[in-house]
Amino acid sequence: MILAVLAAAAAGCGGLQQGANPGNANQSQIAGEAHPQVVEPVAGGSPTPAASDQAADVSVSSSSPSRQAEPQPISNAEVREELAQSGISANPDVATLTPGGLAVAPVGAPPAVQAIINAGNEIARLQYLWGGGHGAFEDTAYDCSGSVSFVLAAAHLLNATETSGEFMSYGDPGPGKWVTIFASNGHVYMYVAGLRFDTVALAEYGSRWTNHSADDGGTFVARHPAGL
């Protein structure tokens, strides 16, 4: 069963990772796990090979009553309750990973970074789906670029979903102080306050958040939101 989940992630959002090394990831550092390349869905399309190349302009808070019984992002209240139950205190400058796979935002992080982490916690354990998060920011499952789009939109740093290839020109070039996005034509993931947010981590560890770093093999472009 675990192998099947890993295979699904590999087929749709950048591949399996090899040689994971524990430890907090530095945003300017690229070391640890590999991301093989695949073709990634186009923003705004359905999870089929015939997806449109038009980006979706959608709302983070939109939700269909017919989907209420399906998995949804957990609420901020649920996130706060679980974080409190973890007993983990926030560090000043580095995010902390809880045993349940949520991230505790550093107390010194800017509001936008805290908003990214809060949104990441809402979808951290939702399942992977190719094309998920591109028809609407709020969805029942997310692919790699849908996940990154969701958290950036929650922090008012993105107005429409983007594909992994589009993230190659997002924001400013190079690593940021708080947020670094690594993008290629086949996959996208990010570091936020030292933790990695990645759908490949979901397949391996059960959460998109991980303190295991990744190796892009020199094929990814580093970008960051302006000022972060």
Q: Rounded distance, CA 146 to CA 132, Å? A: 6
Structural domain boundaries, residue 85: 2-46+55-60+69-224
Q: What is the pLDDT of residue 63?
A: 41
45 token code pair? 């399309």
Q: What CATH number is given to the structural domain containing 6?
A: 3.90.1720.10
Q: What is the pLDDT of residue 79?
A: 67
Residues of the chain with pLDDT under 70: 1-72, 79, 82-83, 86-89, 216-217
Q: What is the pTM of this model?
A: 0.70
φ, ψ of residue 162 to 5 degrees: the values are -130, 155
Q: Rounded distance, CA 10 to CA 175, Å? A: 25
Q: Rounded distance, CA 16 to CA 6, Å? A: 7
Q: What is the pLDDT of residue 64?
A: 42
What's the N-to-C CA distance of the chain in angstroms? Answer: 39
Q: Rounded distance, CA 89 to CA 87, Å? A: 6
pLDDT digits (tens, 9 = 90+) for 20-30: 333 333 333 33
**Residue whose C-alpha is closest to residue 137's, from 161, 114, 108:** 161
Q: What is the pLDDT of residue 32?
A: 35
Q: What is the pLDDT of residue 178?
A: 97
Q: What is the pLDDT of residue 69?
A: 52
φ, ψ of residue 97 to 5 degrees: the values are -95, 130
Total domains in the fold of the chain:
1
Q: What is the pLDDT of residue 20?
A: 32
Q: Rounded distance, CA 185 to CA 166, Å? A: 8
Q: What is the pLDDT of residue 49?
A: 34
188 token code pair? 């996208």
Q: What is the 3-state secondary structure (H, E, C) of 113-139?
A: HHHHHHHHHHHCCCCECCCCCCCCCCC
